[in-house]
Structure 1
Amino acid sequence: MNSLNLQLNFWVYWFIFCGIILGRYFIVAGGTHWLLHLLLGNQLFESWFGNKQQIRKAISEDIKLSTLSAIFFALSAACFMGCYQLKLTQVYTHLEVQDLAYLVASYVGVLILQDTYFYFMHRLFHLPSLFKRFHQGHHQSKIPTPWTSFAFDPLEAVFQALFLFAITFVVPLHYGVLLALLTTMTVWAVGNHLGFQIIPDSRLSRWWGGWCIGSTHHLVHHNRYTRHYGLYFTFWDKLLGTQDDRYEEQRLESRHP
């Protein structure tokens, strides 16, 4: 494949992925917002800000930032496709029955690696010297909404996209696992930014809240920047002392009504 074809394919892929990423964002974030509004009505706005004008302005800013982020995510995806065509990545398409255990292990393993990468990157971006350039845009909404899920400053979007792009060169991944990871990232990001607890209190939800990050856990971070930096799991927050004590106390108290 000559360099001209590679360049042409790159921009074609970039254009296609821009459309896919933006379409996915509007369908998942917009669909979640619409569903919540359908179920909760005006109560939804009260749960977020209590002011419709504020929520509309915040959503507008989040959409602008998410659209900008999509450009950089699409660039990463286009780079991946070019490298895949040149057989530089570890992504494969063949599948054998004996590979099923590895599929599960690779999926879980990459989630753990991504959570680790995100925790330390996220904590770094909260340093005063880096916050304004890398992460301030994501915190423009004190109480997040589904639209906040992909609202990143351009530099943060680059570092977000870099992880999965780099991992395809290191870890052999079936393309189905790669799609599952992208789907998980999207759904989890929207779920973490609902701005309030939506799952009814139960033994399962308490267990989930102890080990996995959800909307209530992440809401603490949007109110207290020095707490809750994780992406999927609470492990690093607990280990490194960034788990909010009040959140943990309330969670434990709910186990003993």
Structure 2
Amino acid sequence: MVDQHQPGTSALSVLRPFTETDLQSLAARAYARIREAIVAGSLAPGQRISERGLAAALDISAQPVREALRRLEVEGMVETRPRSGTYVADLGRDRLFEIGLIRATLEAVSARLAAERATAADHAAMRARLEAIAGAMRSEDAAAVTLANEALHDAIHAAAASRDVTRLLEGLRAYDHLTRERILSTAEERATALAEHQAIVDAIIAGEPQAAEAAMKAHALRSLSVALP
């Protein structure tokens, strides 16, 4: 009997096999490919997935797939059910909205701490990330804008130097993965986000914790309203 919960060949077709020229670690690449399939809906919410099936689709051993699934579970993209298996997390609108509210608060705390703790090197990193966003926008490369946005937030988290805040935000990555492209889907929205990011970075570099916190909170909540109107 065919397990209706197992991903079929068509569902896994998006997971292209690796080649010998791949230079990144197999676990990191497996993570990226599986995450991509979940975001695209090729691996549907509530769908059961197996290490063996994913490994076969990617043409790699089970170990890097196991590591990738652990990372995705930390981020909330998949969940393990006792004596049942691993499933794609079913993140409906209400749950995503709740996660977005929590994320907005944590991002604001991170910005506040960054304003208090950032070094000159942190300032330079944030400026570079802003320029990367602007450059991607000039090239009209939406995917690059998304990646540059994530890199800027990562730079702010690094400047905050709080393992606790970073750990908590890492557990909410599913929200970012599932909403970021939607938030940045139009040129107008990308321009608005860039202006908001500029205000956040300006406040951090000026050493103004309250202003940085307020700017980040406003940005995150407005983004939430765009992602989940």
Name the structure with the higher helix share.
1
Shorter-chain TM-score tier: 0.3 to 0.5
TM-score normalized by the length of structure 1: 0.36
TM-score normalized by the length of structure 2: 0.39
